[in-house]
């Protein structure tokens, strides 16, 4: 890899950077169905990973612009029943109606403690959808997904695979923050399921990148641990949309040693996207 901008993005993620005879984004076909191997370095990065992480910790994220399509221009996609047990029938809702339904939702007790709902944001006709678990404290205050330090790292992760944040659509399994950032309860996931399903139907992404164990288990309807969900290509239940799982950016801020594994996941997702 010789692109200076992309090298800078990888350094911001805390990933060791090397110079290779081939592009690092070239992922062997067999990795699409097997666990991705560990990163192999051809030459270590001259930068100090500790210094990069310290600089990242001091960074703040400025909300990025959105490239939203007016609701009137969105044609209702067919109800593909991507996810079962939907409590709210959102199958015929356009964007504006769907967002209003989320803003006024009272289907679970989270409406009693939230400040704002976090509907989602980005390009409503994106090829990439990013799905996280639930809003945190800062997201609850701003009503925007993935802000703060975790959001800054997510932006860098996407940039490392040549994807601008504003060119993706970002949403969460839950639209309201659970108190004290606890794991979502099953009834809360079920209450929000219809909203996320309709977002999938409206966006029609070519690939979904899921970040974090809770989001992955909820979306794929499984209890498998994250370690077994990573490195494989899944399908969204009831559809052919490919799903790739990786670590949540907040986890990577706590465990920077796993950023190399996250980079393998991103390369896998990029390869799947090219083949989609």
Residue 7 confidence (pLDDT) above 80: no
What confidence tens digit (pLDDT) does each residue in 187-202 have?
999 999 999 999 999 9
Nearest partner of 256 among 112, 48, 80, 104, judged by Cα: 48
Full-model pTM: 0.73
Residue 35 confidence (pLDDT) above 50: no
Specify the pLDDT at position 276. 79
Mean pLDDT of 174-195: 95
Mean pLDDT of 171-183: 96
34-43, 106-115, 251-260 — which is least confidently predicted? 34-43
Q: Please report, for residues 167, 184, 212, the alpha-carbon distance to residue 66 in angstroms, rounded to integers and kept in the order given.
A: 8, 27, 24
- Give the single-character DSSP code of 169: E
Specify the pLDDT at position 60. 34
Mean pLDDT of 142-166: 95
Is pLDDT larger for residue 181 or for residue 5? 181
* C-alpha span between 184 and 110 (Å, rounded): 10
* C-alpha span between 271 and 31 (Å, rounded): 9
What confidence tens digit (pLDDT) does each residue in 67-103 have?
333 333 333 333 333 444 445 688 899 999 999 999 9
What confidence tens digit (pLDDT) does each residue in 38-60 have?
433 333 333 333 333 343 343 33
The helix (run of H) or strand (run of E) holding residue 97 is helix 95-103
Specify the pLDDT at position 265. 98
Specify the pLDDT at position 16. 59
**Structure tokens, 63:** 């909300």
Q: How many CB atoms lie within 10 A of CB 247?
A: 21
Specify the pLDDT at position 254. 96
Collapsing DSSP states into helix, strand and coil, what is residue 132? strand
**Structure tokens, 24:** 């690092």
Going from the N-terminus, what domains does the chain have, and what CATH number goes with each? 4-61+68-275 (3.40.470.10)
Specify the pLDDT at position 12. 61
């Amino acid at each position: 890899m010789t692109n200076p901008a992309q090298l800078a993005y990888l350094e911001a993620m805390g990933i060791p950077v090397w110079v290779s005879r081939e592009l690092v984004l070239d992922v062997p076909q067999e990795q699409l169905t097997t666990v991705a191997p560990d990163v192999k370095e051809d030459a270590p990065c001259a930068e100090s990973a500790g210094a990069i992480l310290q600089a990242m910790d001091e960074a703040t994220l400025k909300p990025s612009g959105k490239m939203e399509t007016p609701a009137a221009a969105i044609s209702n996609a067919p109800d593909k029943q991507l996810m079962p047990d939907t409590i709210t029938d959102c199958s015929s809702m356009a964007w504006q109606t769907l967002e209003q339904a989320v803003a006024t939702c009272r289907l679970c007790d989270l409406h009693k403690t939230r400040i704002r709902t976090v509907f989602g944001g980005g390009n409503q006709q994106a090829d990439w959808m990013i799905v996280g678990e639930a809003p945190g404290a800062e997201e609850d205050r701003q009503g925007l997904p993935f802000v703060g330090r975790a959001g800054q790292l997510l932006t860098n992760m996407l940039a490392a695979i040549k994807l601008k944040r504003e060119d993706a659509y970002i949403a969460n399994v839950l639209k309201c923050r659970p108190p004290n950032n606890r794991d979502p309860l099953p009834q809360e996931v079920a209450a929000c399921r219809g909203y996320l399903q309709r977002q999938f139907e409206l966006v029609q992404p070519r690939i979904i990148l899921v970040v974090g164990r809770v989001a992955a288990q909820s979306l794929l309807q499984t209890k498998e641990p994250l370690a077994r969900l990573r490195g494989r290509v899944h399908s969204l239940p009831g559809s052919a949309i490919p799903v790739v799982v990786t670590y949540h950016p907040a986890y990577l801020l706590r465990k920077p040693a796993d950023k190399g594994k996250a980079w393998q996941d991103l390369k896998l997702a990029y390869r799947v996207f090219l083949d989609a």
